[in-house]
Chains A and B, each alone.
Chain A
Amino acid sequence: MSRATIVFRRITVWTVLKWALALIVAAIAIFPIWWMINVVFALPGEPVSLNPRLWPSSLSAGIEKIRMIFMETEYLRAYGISVVYALLTIAGVLLIGSLAAFEFSLFDFPGRRLLFGIVMLSLMVPTAVTIIPTYLLTSRLGWLNTMQGLVVPGLASAFGLFMLVQFMRAIPKDMIEAARLDGANHLQIYWHVALPLCRNALVTLAILTFMQTWGNYMWPLVISTRPEMYTVGQVVGLFNSPLSHHTVDTVMTANLLAAVPPLLFFLIFQRKIVEGIAMSGTKG
């Protein structure tokens, strides 16, 4: 029997339906991005019609728009700020989250449950509630329009802590004790045993943090009022604003550029994200 027939045989109505559904969902998800690409890679004169064109019409026009945005607006600096903002936040969230999770999940200390409960409680408080006190605190510290003002309030991630605690709880106590007997001190146990064992969780958390930080609009909007400290989100917001003098296709270019990093990130780490969520990290 040939391979083709085997494959053919397995195709049932159910498979067809599943595929159809998956394709429809994918099309709906991809279409706005594709449309954005079409608008960007088209001659400036072409009207942005509501009946969408299905293909890009001019590569060079698109590249020219991108060049214009990078060279003639504040976009590039904002890009830099967003990247630094995201990377610092990721580094901080991973470091603080994993250190805290290490203590919470593997060691006992007075008030452990209470403290953990309080941190978890903060998961249930919406940002809208905390943003004003956080703003006031940050401004008292004189951190308005600074990188630390942007980054520091986002470092304590209750969600990250929760996720890492779940992973680290799965590490057997014996292993920690074996490391202690092997002469590893507290930090060495953290670094050589606990951290590598939740690598998948760390990668996942890094990605989620990136997505969240890159897309964060509200906090930068409050904290960075000076154009020099604008993030990509804010700059794109300027492009989008009613008073903007940019044409629709330029605005679309700005939007597309802002969407590229998270897209790339997701495409590269897609498997890791799913794996990290599915596995508990210490099997074997």
Chain B
Amino acid sequence: MAFLEISSLSKFFGNLCILDDIDLSIERGEFVVFVGPSGCGKSTLLRIISGLEEITSGTITIEGEVMNDIEPAKRGTAMVFQSYALYPHMTIFQNVSFGLRMARKPRDFIAERVRQVSSILQLDKLLDRRPAQLSGGQKQRVAIGRAIVREPRVFLFDEPLSNLDAELRVQMRAELMELHRRLGTTMIYVTHDQVEAMTLADKMVVMNGGRIQQAGAPLALYDDPDNRFVAGFVGSPRMNFLPARLAAAESQGVRLEGIGGFGTATLPLPGLAAAPGPVEIGVRPEHLHLLSDGADEEGLVLEGEVTLVEELGAESFVHMDLADGTHVTVRAGRGAARPAGRIRVRPDLSRALLFGSDGQRLRAGDGRKV
């Protein structure tokens, strides 16, 4: 059994289903990130793990022990809130030591623990101040200190960096990674920033509409998404989806027509048994290549009108509209000439993904029907 195990968990507020049949296992020491659009239930799931929210059905176990009816403080979890939730009337020392004082630990022990924690987080010089006298980043560190000092089994972070400015966010992200390396404690982290998720996560859990869409290593999700939602959510700029029609599934691959309005191609998906019907081809911006004028036109080539070019220095993103109105983003190197007017791009079909009309991924060898 995994370190932290969530099985068939559901959560209702009134008769509104917020979390629907969640199954998740988390290993000891893993850095797990919940991502998903606003309102998909990330915070609710985190709060359920912390014990602040009750479970409607299902179970949560930590180290084999069922947590459903265990009080929040006794679960060995510690939470860092987006709002920091520091106690404004207490000094930083009192804030950090609050949990230990509630647990009636001896004075010397408390002083020693707070000293250790504040040296890890560089809070030493701030201990006598009050939260109102700290900057955002410092408040964040105090909030983390308050969690660390209790030596929890699991850290829970709910969008801890979203109140910080971009630069500080990158810095705190690095500090969090360092902290995780140093403490080796299991961390569960909620964000709706997928860059944050990709950089921090050992395991990334993509949620939508109260369900886990897919869980796995960030790159596994990037390269091999289970459905259109995950494919579109992970990666920035997002994956391009080209509408097409599945004409026939043959043994070497599937024949597609009407790609972007006119193209035909065969995707190398041997053994995929699927009935003809509308599908979508997913191609990442980096798997589309600009064709220079007069280049050979073998295979699938998409032609369209440039609408916008974003120059980012090392790379640029070209936005174009195909004949059927499909919007496509192409990642281009730093070319001599800025693309303009009508351009042609070639998708790398060996990296293209196929999605059925229900949004599910169609993989090689899949026996399911569209």
Chain A positions near chain B (C-beta within 8 angstroms):
172, 174-175, 177-184, 188, 192-193, 196-197, 199, 282-284
Taken together as a complex, chains A and B put the C-alpha atoms of A175 and B90 apart, in Å, by: 12
A180 and B73 in contact, given A188-B102, A192-B98, A284-B130 (Cβ under 8 angstroms): yes
The interface residues of chain A lying within 8 Å CB-to-CB of B98 are 179, 182, 184, 192
Residues of A within 8 A of B146 (CB): 178, 182
Q: Which residues of B contact A (CB under 8 A)?
A: 50-52, 72-74, 77-79, 81-83, 85-89, 98-99, 102-103, 130-132, 146, 150
Q: Please, how many angstroms separate the alpha-carbon atoms of A196 and B89 in the complex?
A: 7
Taking a contact as CB atoms under 8 Å apart, the answer to whether B103 and A183 are in contact is yes
Residues of B within 8 A of A184 (CB): 73, 98, 102
User: Does A182 contact B99, Cβ atoms closer than 8 Å?
Assistant: yes
For A174, give the chain B residue with the smallest CB separation: B85
CB-defined A-B contacts under 8 Å, sample of 16: A174-B81, A174-B82, A175-B85, A175-B86, A177-B52, A178-B81, A178-B87, A179-B98, A182-B150, A183-B102, A183-B103, A192-B87, A197-B89, A283-B88, A283-B132, A284-B130
Q: How far is the CA of A252 from the CA of B83 in the complex (A)?
A: 59
Note all chain A residues with C-beta closer than 8 A to B89: 196-197, 199
Given the complex of chains A and B, what is the CA–CA distance between A174 and B85 in angstroms? 6
Besides A177-B81, A180-B73, 17 other CB < 8 A contacts?
A172-B85, A174-B83, A175-B85, A177-B79, A178-B81, A178-B146, A181-B51, A181-B99, A182-B99, A183-B74, A183-B99, A183-B103, A184-B102, A192-B102, A283-B88, A283-B132, A284-B131
Q: Is the CB of A180 within 8 A of B72?
A: yes
A contact face: mostly helix, strand, loop, or mixed: helix
Q: Are A178 and B85 in contact (CB under 8 A)?
A: yes
Distance in angstroms from A283 CB to nearest chain B CB is 7
Residues from chain A with Cβ under 8 Å of B72 in the complex: 180-181
A177 to B156, CA, bound (A): 13
Total A-B pairs, Cβ < 8 A: 63
Given contacts A177-B52, A181-B50, contact A197 B81 (CB under 8 A): no
Known: A196-B89, A284-B131. A182 touches B102 (CB 8 A): yes
When distances are taken between beta carbons in the complex, the residues of chain B under 8 Å from A183 are 73-74, 99, 102-103, 150
Our pick among A179, A192, A197 for the contact of B88 (Cβ within 8 Å) is A197
Complex Cα spacing A282 to B86, Å: 11
Contacts of B130 in A (CB 8 A): 284
Question: Closest Cβ of chain B: how far from A236's Cβ, in Å?
Answer: 41
Closest approach, in angstroms, between the C-beta of A184 and any C-beta of chain B? Answer: 5
Asked whether A284 and B132 contact (CB < 8 A) given A172-B85, A182-B98, the answer is yes
Residues of chain A contacted by B86 (CB below 8 angstroms): 175
Shortest Cβ distance from residue B97 to the other chain A in the assembled complex, whole angstroms? 10
Q: Are the CB atoms of B88 and A284 closer together than 8 Å?
A: yes
> Which one, A180, A193, A199, A283, contacts B87 given CB within 8 A?
A193
Cβ distance A183 to chain B, nearest Cβ, rounded Å? 4
| Chain A nearest CB, measured from B293 CB (Å) | 59
A172 touches B83 (CB 8 A): yes
Q: How far is the CB of A245 from chain B (nearest CB, A)?
A: 56
Which chain B positions have C-beta within 8 A of A282? Answer: 88
* In the complex, residue of chain A having the shortest beta-carbon distance to the beta carbon of B84: A174
Shortest Cβ distance from residue B156 to the other chain A in the assembled complex, whole angstroms: 9
Contact of B79 (CB < 8 Å), options: A175, A178, A192, A284:
A178
Q: How far is the CB of B194 from the nearest CB of chain A, in Å?
A: 25
What distance in Å separates the Cβ of A171 from its nearest Cβ neighbour in chain B? 10
Q: Chain B contacts of A284 at CB under 8 A? A: 88, 130-132
Q: How far is the CB of A93 from chain B (nearest CB, A)?
A: 22
Distance, CA A51 to CA B324, complexed state (A) = 100
Q: Give the distance to chain A from B105, nearest Cβ to Cβ, in Å.
A: 11
* Chain B positions within 8 Å of A283 at CB level: 88, 132
Chain B's closest residue to A178 (CB) is: B85
| Contact between B88 and A182, CB atoms less than 8 A apart | no
| A175 B87 Cβ-Cβ under 8 A | yes
Q: In the bound complex, do residue B85 and residue A177 qualify as a contact, i.e. CB atoms below 8 Å apart? A: yes
In the complex, which residue of chain A has the Cβ closest to the Cβ of B149? A182
B88 touches A180 (CB 8 A): no
Residues from chain B with a CB closer than 8 A to the CB of A180 are 52, 72-73
